[in-house]
Amino acid sequence: MNPAIRNIILRILIYAVLLLLVSQLIYVDALEVTKQKFKEESWTEYLQVITLFLTALIFYISAHKWLKFRGLGILLGGAATIAFIRELDVYLDTYVFDGVWQTLALVAAISIMWMTYKWRKGLMEVIQYFIGTRSFGLCLGGFLTVFVFSRMFGRQIFWRAVMEEGYIRSVKNAAEEGLELLGYLLIFMSAIEFFITIREFHERSGPV
């Protein structure tokens, strides 16, 4: 078998196993006996935070390792960092001070914009290359899942229409948070593919 095809099949299997394991942990949350399932202290929420942290880490490692892709790596890692901070909003507001997550997110955004500007040389060329990769497709799919579809799918007015008089908030939470986690996982896979794609680019082209 062609090594490239074998590697793709292997990654697909790994991603499939990851999704199966995550689905099982969401099921564990569903088994919890409580009035409000899928709250902040749940496997689903923890996995969202962990996934975003690992995503940002991989993008930053890629940016550090390969100079040519540094601007884009910082930009993508920065976006994951801001989402990571947003997911910690309840803890930050509770244990630090109310509104602290907005301050941290703003500081992160300004820092990311400055760093991206600093490494702007060749950025548009790299972005154009990125758009043609598997990583971009996964990243776009994850972004749309989290910030568009899950938001619309998780609307209370929609679930009240579905369940009519038997509205159960935990069902809405499970659907919304589960979809959000799926989107973050797609972006995490995008980060892995980003790293692999850049490494392959490096091997073909020499140091970049």
Q: What is the per-residue DSSP string for 88-127?
A: THHHHHHHT-TTHHHHHHHHHHHHHHHHHHHT-TTHHHHH
Q: Which two tokens stand for residue 76?
A: 């993508």
Q: Which of 56, 49, 86 is nearest to 73 (CA)?
A: 56
Q: What is the mean pLDDT of the chain?
A: 91
Residue 21: which pLDDT band, with cuts at 50, 70 and 90? very high
CA 86/CA 88 separation, integer angstroms: 5
| pLDDT at position 207 over 60 | no
Residue that wins the pLDDT comparison between 104 and 97: 104
Q: What is the pLDDT of residue 208?
A: 46
Residue 71: which pLDDT band, with cuts at 50, 70 and 90? very high
**Domain ranges within the chain, ordered by starting residue:** 3-205
Residues contacting 2, CB < 8 A, separation 6+: none
pLDDT tens across 106-138, in order? 999 999 999 999 998 889 999 999 999 999 999
Q: 140 in helix, strand or coil? A: helix
Q: Alpha helix locations (H) across the chain?
A: 3-31, 43-65, 70-87, 89-95, 100-118, 123-131, 134-144, 150-153, 156-163, 169-205
Maximum alpha-carbon separation in the chain: 64
| pLDDT at position 76 over 80 | yes
